[in-house]
């Protein structure tokens, strides 16, 4: 059966259910790698697939979730053997009912840089190897599931799209707060995955049907009508013994609400069995999928920051070397600290997007822009506007950008459109089109509008919709072309009205060569906003400019209850000069307080409002750790003692390669002054025992992410007790609960990294 046939039936497509718990219930022993089941227990694995096929599953996922070269190193089989055997077991069952077989791929278990140590290119290579082998072995589709890091998902999608021609399904796991473990929003996931070419998007794992439902509705509103959306919830919420609280009938009953959401594929994840899929088949037999009603909106994003461009949006202009000697020198020196400081300052001043330009004679623009994007992504969560006319530079920057950016710019020259629009389409970027061509800038609004029409038509032909097209009608300096301002505004209004695109202007160009530039800039900005300006490229550190933006938002009801305006100006005083000035010290000023405090505060600043997410937490902790190391070195040099508060051994248990949570715990504990011995991933019980015997550690921290490896956590605890060691054990991981921790003999359950520090303080002081 071909993939298109599945969706042409006008009925709900059924996916299969849980695999790990099925293998455990049918004989998989603690410590055994589930990915090897196709080679060690092939009849059992095939029987599981058969049961799901008989229950009505249209798509069977091969048992390859954790199959990659690093995880399977030393297992006695090659990655090719594992993937071929796994797909063969699924294919045997699929042929009996005509189901399709998906190559199932889960996360690698490591955080990508800058939050972690895994390079984006290395993640891509690992995924590409698995996908190539899966395609060669006859998979019908690639199924990327249980992802929590949008950057890792991007690497996987690119690997799939560039390695094979199979359809690509993607799925992320969201926590109860509506974000993934790394803070990614539903909307950021949707626009990024679809922009990169995902053929279907969904949500799986972590939560049950009721909990996932509101996020599934948001997902349906965020993807185009032609992109299928699916869900694979867990069998409810976990019980203390590791089981789940819904049976098959209850699961199917809770899933009924999905019939009207626009979801077109349904299945199950942890705790679900063939009986759950059969119950879904019966419950949805009389239903046809409802049409999705997506919201067509212009948006830019990073994982944790989703910018819906509705009304005026501020693009910070300060990371552009034009007229900026300090930035030019920083770019020539390869010094990213200055542009990063500019990014933080603009974000704090109110910018919603940052323009990034590395075009400077005498430097390698492609390498510089790529490096600059990597560095900026470590200090700010604002979306970036990649400002370059060099296709090579754009290709490298777009590839490693995390989220959905905007490219500035193309123009009416056909060779420029042909070179850059395909890049924007491939990487899911929005695009700015300048109303100029080989003949220059037309002096009239009519001439600029004609070029805007050409750009819009070319972008549409490349697969870029109108909501991702931003037309720049070009701001000319009033000192030289005074009548140009009116032509710019007339062209802008016409593009907005007749083409249905968004608009952008570099506002401060209007005042070059004239005194008191702020007056002209602010007045022109206000006129442009009234004409329909969407993106204002400007200096957000100019108080009167930001005041005009915030006031305009209030007067046009874009700022509900004037909340942003009040937040910005509650402490502002109007000076006798009528210049707005905040009472609080400005970032980086001599009044802004202690330098160490300010550095740590800046590390925590790049966050969504009200929360600190994983990448920002790691950046802040790393910054603090570097500062503490400097302090300790200073104290040591003075001859004073700087002893550790105590020794702690931590490890991810045998069979589990996921060490993201453990790494966070290590950084936090080290920042609290403890001497931490990190044994790494896939650590056997005897290695933990040996480490405690050698170091005399009084506290051990164990981590496990998967239900199949939790028994190894219990085995490690039992080994420590059997060795008669005087130490306590704290445990943590996504599948653990306080009751389950007690059941396996742990002394402490830690729900997060801060809890581990609390335990250490309680036990070690």
Mean pLDDT computed over 390-414:
97
Q: Quick one: what percent of the chain has pLDDT higher than 70?
A: 89
Mean pLDDT computed over 101-111:
94
pLDDT score at 740: 83
Other C-beta atoms within 10 Å of 368: how many?
Answer: 20
Q: Using one digit for the tens of pLDDT, what is the confidence trace for 601-638?
A: 444 333 336 455 555 555 666 666 666 666 666 656 66
Residue 644, SS3?
Answer: coil
pLDDT score at 615: 57
* Bridge pairing between strands 572-574 and 469-472: unpaired
Q: Is the model's pLDDT at 33 over the cut of 50?
A: yes
Other C-beta atoms within 10 Å of 581: how many?
Answer: 12
pLDDT score at 481: 86
Q: Quick one: what percent of the chain has pLDDT higher than 90?
A: 75
Element (H, E) at 95: none
Phi/psi for 526 (5° steps) reads -65, -40
Confidence label for 584 from pLDDT (cuts 50, 70 and 90): very low
pLDDT score at 620: 64
pLDDT score at 607: 37
Query: Rounded to whole angstroms, how far apart are CA atoms 422 and 85?
Result: 38
Rounded to 10 deg, the angle between the 543-555 and 517-531 helix axes is: 20
Rounded CA Rg of the chain: 28
Rounded to 10 deg, the angle between the 660-671 and 753-764 helix axes is: 40
pLDDT score at 609: 66
Query: Rounded to whole angstroms, how far apart are CA atoms 521 and 542?
Result: 10
pLDDT score at 416: 97
First-to-last CA distance in the chain? 63
Q: Is the model's pLDDT at 316 over the cut of 80?
A: yes
* Bridge pairing between strands 647-652 and 406-410: unpaired
* Cα atoms found within 13 Å of the Cα of residue 403, Cβ hemisphere only: 29
Phi/psi for 743 (5° steps) reads -65, -35
User: Looking at residue 557, what DSSP letter applies?
Assistant: T
Total residues belonging to the chain: 765
pLDDT score at 592: 39
**Residue 729 token pair:** 């054990």
Counts of helices then strands in the chain (DSSP H, E): 28, 25
Q: Is the model's pLDDT at 134 over the cut of 90?
A: yes
- Between these two residues, 2 and 50, which has the higher pLDDT value? 50
CA nearest neighbour of 199 among 232, 172, 164, 227: 227
Residue with tokens 């060779």: 415
User: Looking at residue 36, what DSSP letter applies?
Assistant: G
* Cα atoms found within 13 Å of the Cα of residue 644, Cβ hemisphere only: 14
Segment among 419-428, 528-537, 577-586 with least mean pLDDT: 577-586
* Bridge pairing between strands 141-147 and 168-172: parallel
Q: Using one digit for the tens of pLDDT, what is the confidence trace for 553-568?
A: 999 999 999 999 998 9
pLDDT score at 753: 83
Other C-beta atoms within 10 Å of 611: how many?
Answer: 12
Confidence label for 594 from pLDDT (cuts 50, 70 and 90): very low
Query: Rounded to whole angstroms, how far apart are CA atoms 360 and 329?
Result: 10
**Residue 327 token pair:** 């930035």
CA nearest neighbour of 455 among 500, 406, 412, 391: 412
pLDDT score at 3: 63
Mean pLDDT computed over 198-213:
96
Residue 440, SS3?
Answer: strand
Q: Residue 639: CB partners within 8 Å, gap ≥ 6?
A: none
Q: Using one digit for the tens of pLDDT, what is the confidence trace for 514-530?
A: 999 999 999 999 999 99
Mean pLDDT computed over 716-734:
92
**Residue 272 token pair:** 């679900």
Query: Rounded to whole angstroms, how far apart are CA atoms 225 and 745?
Result: 51
pLDDT score at 628: 60
Q: Is the model's pLDDT at 296 over the cut of 50?
A: yes
Phi/psi for 142 (5° steps) reads -105, 130
Residue 182, SS3?
Answer: coil
pLDDT score at 617: 59
CA nearest neighbour of 237 among 278, 271, 273, 275: 271
Tell me the three-class secondary structure of 292-306, residue by residue: CCCCCCCEEECCCCE
Query: Rounded to whole angstroms, how far apart are CA atoms 299 and 455?
Result: 19
Residue with tokens 């919709």: 465
User: Where would I find the H helices in 570-657?
Assistant: 595-605, 614-637
Q: Is the bond leading into 628 cis (omega within 30 degrees of zero)?
A: no
**Residue 231 token pair:** 């869900």
- Judge contact between 117 and 164, C-beta under 8 A: no
User: Looking at residue 428, what DSSP letter applies?
Assistant: T
Q: Is the model's pLDDT at 2 over the cut of 90?
A: no
**Residue 249 token pair:** 């009938």
Query: Rounded to whole angstroms, how far apart are CA atoms 253 and 283?
Result: 8
CA distances from 714 to 146, 658, 705 (A): 25, 17, 14
Segment among 39-48, 142-151, 711-720 with least mean pLDDT: 711-720
Query: Rounded to whole angstroms, how far apart are CA atoms 114 and 335?
Result: 17
- Between these two residues, 240 and 581, which has the higher pLDDT value? 240
Query: Rounded to whole angstroms, how far apart are CA atoms 76 and 298?
Result: 51
Phi/psi for 603 (5° steps) reads -65, -35
Q: Using one digit for the tens of pLDDT, what is the confidence trace for 343-386?
A: 999 999 999 999 999 999 899 999 999 999 999 999 999 999 99
- Between these two residues, 544 and 671, which has the higher pLDDT value? 544
Query: Rounded to whole angstroms, how far apart are CA atoms 138 and 140?
Result: 6
Query: Rounded to whole angstroms, how far apart are CA atoms 266 and 57?
Result: 9
Beta bridge partners of 410: 433
Residue with tokens 């036990």: 763
Mean pLDDT computed over 125-154:
98
Query: Rounded to whole angstroms, how far apart are CA atoms 14 and 280?
Result: 8
pLDDT score at 656: 78
pLDDT score at 254: 97
CA distances from 614 to 148, 188, 223, 348, 403 (A): 11, 16, 26, 20, 16
pLDDT score at 575: 40
- Between these two residues, 615 and 757, which has the higher pLDDT value? 757
Q: Using one digit for the tens of pLDDT, what is the confidence trace for 729-750?
A: 999 987 788 888 888 999 999 9
DSSP of 482-498? TTHHHHHHHHHHHIIII
Query: Rounded to whole angstroms, how far apart are CA atoms 269 and 79?
Result: 24
Query: Rounded to whole angstroms, how far apart are CA atoms 153 and 146?
Result: 10
Tell me the three-class secondary structure of 327-363, residue by residue: HHHHHHHCCCHHHHHHHHHHHHHCCCEEEECCCCCCC
CA distances from 550 to 191, 459, 545, 562, 595 (A): 27, 32, 9, 9, 31
Mean pLDDT computed over 476-488:
91
Other C-beta atoms within 10 Å of 73: how many?
Answer: 10
- Between these two residues, 11 and 643, which has the higher pLDDT value? 11
- Judge contact between 537 and 432, C-beta under 8 A: no
Query: Rounded to whole angstroms, how far apart are CA atoms 83 and 78?
Result: 9
Angle at 217 between CA 215 and CA 223, to 5 degrees: 100
Q: What is the mean pLDDT of the chain?
A: 90
User: Where would I find the H helices in 351-464?
Assistant: 365-377, 391-400, 414-427, 445-461
Query: Rounded to whole angstroms, how far apart are CA atoms 626 and 628?
Result: 5
Phi/psi for 165 (5° steps) reads -110, 15
CA nearest neighbour of 537 among 409, 389, 441, 381: 409
Phi/psi for 452 (5° steps) reads -60, -40
pLDDT score at 577: 39
pLDDT score at 93: 97
**Residue 442 token pair:** 């037309």
Predicted structure pTM score: 0.84
Residue 414, SS3?
Answer: helix
Task: Produce one character per residue of 166-199: b if its CB has 16 or more CB atoms within 10 Å, e if not.
Answer: bbbbbbbbbeeeebbbbbbbbbbbbbbbbbbbbb
């Amino acid at each position: 059966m071909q993939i298109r046939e599945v969706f042409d039936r006008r009925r709900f497509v059924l996916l299969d259910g849980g695999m790990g718990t099925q293998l455990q219930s049918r004989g998989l022993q603690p410590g055994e790698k589930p990915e090897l089941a196709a080679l060690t227990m092939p009849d059992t694995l095939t029987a599981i697939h058969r049961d799901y096929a008989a229950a009505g599953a249209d798509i069977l996922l091969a048992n390859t979730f954790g199959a990659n070269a690093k995880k399977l190193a030393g297992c006695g089989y090659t990655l090719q053997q594992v993937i071929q055997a796994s797909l063969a077991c699924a294919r045997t069952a699929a042929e009996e009912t005509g189901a399709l077989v998906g190559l199932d791929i889960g996360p690698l278990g490591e955080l990508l840089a800058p939050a972690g140590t895994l390079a984006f290119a290395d993640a891509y290579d690992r995924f590409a190897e698995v996908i190539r082998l899966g395609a060669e072995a006859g998979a019908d589709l690639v199924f990327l599931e249980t992802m929590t890091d949008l950057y890792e998902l991007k690497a996987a999608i690119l690997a799939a799209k560039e390695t094979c021609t199979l359809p690509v399904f993607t799925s992320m796991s969201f926590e109860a707060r509506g974000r993934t473990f790394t803070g990614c929003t539903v909307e950021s996931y949707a626009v990024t995955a679809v922009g990169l070419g995902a053929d279907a998007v969904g949500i799986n794992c972590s939560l049950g049907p009721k909990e996932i439902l509101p996020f599934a509705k948001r997902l349906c509103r965020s993807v185009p009508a032609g992109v299928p959306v699916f869900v694979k919830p867990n069998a409810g919420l976990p019980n203390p013994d590791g089981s789940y609280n819904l049976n098959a009938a209850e699961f199917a009953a809770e899933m009924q609400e999905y019939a009207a959401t626009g979801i077109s594929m349904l299945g199950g994840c942890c705790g679900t069995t063939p009986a759950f899929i059969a119950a879904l088949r019966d419950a949805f037999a009389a239903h046809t999928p409802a049409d999705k009603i997506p919201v067509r909106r212009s948006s830019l994003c990073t994982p944790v920051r989703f910018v819906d461009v509705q009304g005026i949006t501020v693009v910070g202009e300060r990371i552009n070397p034009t007229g900026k000697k300090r930035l030019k020198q920083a770019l020539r020196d390869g010094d990213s600290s200055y542009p990063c400081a500019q990014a933080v300052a603009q974000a704090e001043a109110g910018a919603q997007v940052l323009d990034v330009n590395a075009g400077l004679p005498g430097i390698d623009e492609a390498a510089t822009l790529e490096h600059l994007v990597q560095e900026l992504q470590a200090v700010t969560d604002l979306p970036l506007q990649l400002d370059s006319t060099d296709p090579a530079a754009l290709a490298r920057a777009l590839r490693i950008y995390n989220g959905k950016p905007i490219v500035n710019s193309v123009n009416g020259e056909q060779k420029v459109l042909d070179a850059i629009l395909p890049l924007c389409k491939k990487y899911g970027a929005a695009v700015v089109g300048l109303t100029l061509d080989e003949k220059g800038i037309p002096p009239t609004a009519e001439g600029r509008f004609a070029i805007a029409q050409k750009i819009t038509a070319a972008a549409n032909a490349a697969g870029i919709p109108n909501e991702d097209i931003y037309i720049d009608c070009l701001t000319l300096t009033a000192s030289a072309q005074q009548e140009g301002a009116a032509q710019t505004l007339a062209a802008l209004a016409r593009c907005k009205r007749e083409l249905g695109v968004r608009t952008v202007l570099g506002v401060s160009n209007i005042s070059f060569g004239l005194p008191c530039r702020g007056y002209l800039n602010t007045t022109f900005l206000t006129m442009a906003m009234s004409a329909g300006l969407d993106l204002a490229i400007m200096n957000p550190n100019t108080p009167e400019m930001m005041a005009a933006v915030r006031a305009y938002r209030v007067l046009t009801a874009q700022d509900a209850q004037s909340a942003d305006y009040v937040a910005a100006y509650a402490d502002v005083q109007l000076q006798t000069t009528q210049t707005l000035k905040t009472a609080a010290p400005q970032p980086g000023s001599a009044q802004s307080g202690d330098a160490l405090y300010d550095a740590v505060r800046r590390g925590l600043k790049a966050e969504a409002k009200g929360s600190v997410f994983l990448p920002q937490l790691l950046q802040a902790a790393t910054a603090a750790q570097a500062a503490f190391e400097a302090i300790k070195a200073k104290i040591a040099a003075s001859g004073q003692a700087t002893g550790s508060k105590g020794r702690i051994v931590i490890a991810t248990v045998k069979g589990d390669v996921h060490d993201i949570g453990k790494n966070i715990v290590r950084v936090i504990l080290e920042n609290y002054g403890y001497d931490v011995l990190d044994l790494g991933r896939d650590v056997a019980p005897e290695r933990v025992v040996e480490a405690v015997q050698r170091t005399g550690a009084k506290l051990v921290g164990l981590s496990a992410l998967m239900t199949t490896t939790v028994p190894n956590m219990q085995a490690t605890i039992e080994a420590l007790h059997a060795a008669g060691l005087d130490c306590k054990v704290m445990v943590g991981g996504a599948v653990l609960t306080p009751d389950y921790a007690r059941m396996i003999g742990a002394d402490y359950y830690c729900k997060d990294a801060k809890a581990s520090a609390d335990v250490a303080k309680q036990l070690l002081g």
